[in-house]
């Protein structure tokens, strides 16, 4: 993995388009829409916190974070 290359969210990415088995570093950002995919996602933070806000069926919100 090249630690100098940071990925960023692609707003034009299709829903459920597979990422496959990857290990990547991403630029932290507020995503304009949720990213839906079928892979297991593991997020590692060496410091700070992460909060997921998403819209579920029938407009019921969910919050995942810590």
What does the domain layout of the chain look like in residue ranges?
A: 1-66
Which CA distances in Å does 18 have to 13, 22, 37, 40, 56?
A: 10, 11, 6, 11, 21
Tell if the pTM clears 0.85, that is, is over it: no
pLDDT reading at 2 higher than 60: no
| pLDDT tens-digit readout, 7-51 | 888 889 888 888 888 888 888 887 777 777 778 888 888 888 877
C-beta of residue 27 within 8 angstroms of C-beta of residue 49? no
Higher pLDDT, 38 or 58: 38
**How far, in whole angstroms, is CA 34 from its chain's centroid?**
8
State whether residue 62 is helix, strand or coil: strand
Which CA distances in Å does 52 have to 7, 34, 41, 56, 61?
A: 18, 9, 13, 12, 10
């Amino acid at each position: 993995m090249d630690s100098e290359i940071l990925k960023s969210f692609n707003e034009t990415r299709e829903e459920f388009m597979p990422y496959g088995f990857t290990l990547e570093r991403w630029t932290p950002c507020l995503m304009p829409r949720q990213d839906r995919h079928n892979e297991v996602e593991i997020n590692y933070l060496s410091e700070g916190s992460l909060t997921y806000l998403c819209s579920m069926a029938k407009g019921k919100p969910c919050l995942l974070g810590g």
